[in-house]
Structure 1
Amino acid sequence: MNWLHDYEEELRIVFHDCRHIISQFPDPLNAYGLSYLHHFNVFETESHKNYICYLLPFWFQENGRLTAQDCRQMSIGNVFLMLYFFIQDDLMDTSTTSAFSTLPLANLLYIEFLNIYRSYFPGKSPFWTYFNRYISEWAESVSNENREDYFRVEQVKVAYKASPLKLSSTAALLLSDQDTLIPQSEEMLHYVLLTLQMLDDYEDWKEDLEEGSYNCLLSLTRQELNCDKDSLTQADVKEFIYTNRGLERFTQIAWDHHNRLLGYSLKVPNLLDFHHRLTNNLMQISAAIETEKKLLQSGGLHYWLSKNM
C-alpha cells in the first residue's frame, strides 16, 4: 500500500468539499479562503503539501475501523484546522500579514472544524479533554521554543507545534473503543512530527538564521560549536554541515526516531512508510553533500567532468 497514491481519489473529494464549504463564506472571506486553500492543495503545482494533515485519518482507518466517509470528514476537519493554525503562524511570524482579513477567515475555518468533530463527539466526550491538551501543547511550544531550546533539552516539545494534528488519530481510536492505544499513537506522532520539522528546518535554516526563528539544525549547530544564538553565523553553519559532517549527525537522530517507531505494538504501516521517506530524504541530502566534497577533493578537472559529462 502506498501512503499517498492509494488515497488520491479520496483527497480529491476532500479538497472538493473544502472548496465548496469555503465558497459559502461571506464575501470577501470566501475569496480569501479559497486562495489560502489553493496554496495548500496537494493537487496544485508549487503548493505547500502538508501530507500528514490530509492523510492521517486514512492511515488510521484500519486501526480505527472507520468508514471512508468518516475518514473524509476528519480529513476535511484537519484541513480547516490546519488553515486556522497556519493563519496564526503567519500573524506571529510576519508583520505583512493583515489581521483584518485573516482573523475573520480563521474563525470561520475554526467553526467548520468544530462542526465536523462535534457531530462525532458530544460535549462530555473525553475527546474534548484531549483537544484542550493538544491546543495547550501547541501554545506552549510556539511561545517558548526560542527561550527553552527544545531540540537540545526536550525534543518532544518541538513536535508539540503540530499537536492539534493528533486529534484525528485520537478520534479514530476513541470511535473504535481503542482509547488504550492513544498514548502509543501520540508518541509515534511525536517522532514523525519531529523528523518532519527537522527536514523543514534543513531547508529553511538560512532564512531562520536571518530572522531569528527557532530551527532544530541551528540548535544542533550551536550545541556542537558551543556558541550562543546571537553569535552563530552562516559560515559557522556551513562549516558544521559541509566540513564537520553535521548533517550526518542530524540524520542519525531521524533514524533513531524510525527505529523507535518500529518498536511500537500499534501498527500504522503508512505512517511508518511516510516517516521512512522523510528520513531517507535527509539521508540522501547528507550523502549528496559528501559526494560533492569528494569530487571537489579530486581536483577541478574531475569535478568539472562529473558535472558536465
Structure 2
Amino acid sequence: MYLTYWYPSQRRGRVTGLFLFGMPLTGVLGGPLSGLIMSGMEGRGGMHGWQWLFLVEGLPTVLLGFLLYRMLPDKPARAPWLNDAEKRLVQSVLDADQQSGGQTGHQRGRLAAALTDSKTYVLAFVYFCCACAVYTLTFWLPTMIKGLGIAPIATIGWYTAVPYIFGALGVLVISRSSDRFKERRWHVGGTLALGAAALASTSFHDANVVPVMALLCIASFFILGGGSLFWSIPPTYLGRDAAAAGIAVISSLGILGGFVSPTLIGWIKGATGSIQMGLLALTALVVLGGLTILLGLPKSAVRVGHSDGMSGH
C-alpha cells in the first residue's frame, strides 16, 4: 500500500481498488467452492467436511507460497510486468527509502512520530470501523443466508457468491467515482454507513429471501467498496516521511475490529437469540467511524490532485 503513494493521487483510488479487487473475488469463487467441499467430502476418510475444507483449500495456498518464493523477481529490473519507466520509478523509491531509513535511529524516529501523531489514531479508529463492517459481513453472511431457510451447505455457498459479486463491483465503481469527483471522505465514510445500515436492515425481514438478498448485495457493494478505498487516504494524509510507519500502526490497531465485531455479535446472538441488536450496534459504530472521517479529517488534508502525493504534509 505504501507504493501507491507514488501514483498520481487522482488515480490512487483506482489503483488501490484494483490492488484490493482480489478480496471480494475470493468470496465469489470461494463461497461455492467451500460449500461443495464441505457437502461433498463430509465423512470421507473419517473426517468432517470442514476438516477437508482446511486441507483442500489450505494446502494449495502453502504450496503456492513456496512457488511464489521461487518465481517472483527479487528486483524491479527483473519484473516482466513493468515497463522501463516503471522499473526506474520503483527502484528509485526503494533506493530513497533505503537511504533515508537505513539508520536504526531514523527508523525509530519514524515509528515514534507515527505513534505520537493524533492523525494516526484517527485513521486507526476509522479503519477499525471498516474492519468491523467487513468482517461482520464476511463472517456472518453464510449464517444469515441459512436463516432464510436455505439448508444445503452447497446451496448456501452459491448464494454467498451473489453479494460478493456486488462487492467486487463496489470496489471498482466507488474507487473510480472517488477519483472522478476528487473526493475521498464521503466516498469512504458515507458508503460504509450506507452499507452497515443495509446490513442491519436484513434483520427486519424474517426469512424473506428477495429483500434480504437485495440488502446483502447493497451492503456488500458499499462496505467492501468503501473499505477498500480507505487505503488511498493514509498515504496522502500522513505524507511521504510518515506514510510507511503510519500505515503499519493503522493496520495493526485497526485490524482488531476483525476480532471484535464477529465476537461481539456472536455474544449478543447467544444472549438474545438474534443478531439484530448486534447489527444495530455495528451500524452505530460504523456511522461513528463515518462521522470521524468527515469531522476529524479536514477536507484539505485528503486532497486529490497532481501534487498532493509529493508534497508531504
TM-score (norm 1): 0.29
TM-score by structure 2 length? Answer: 0.28
More helix by share: 2
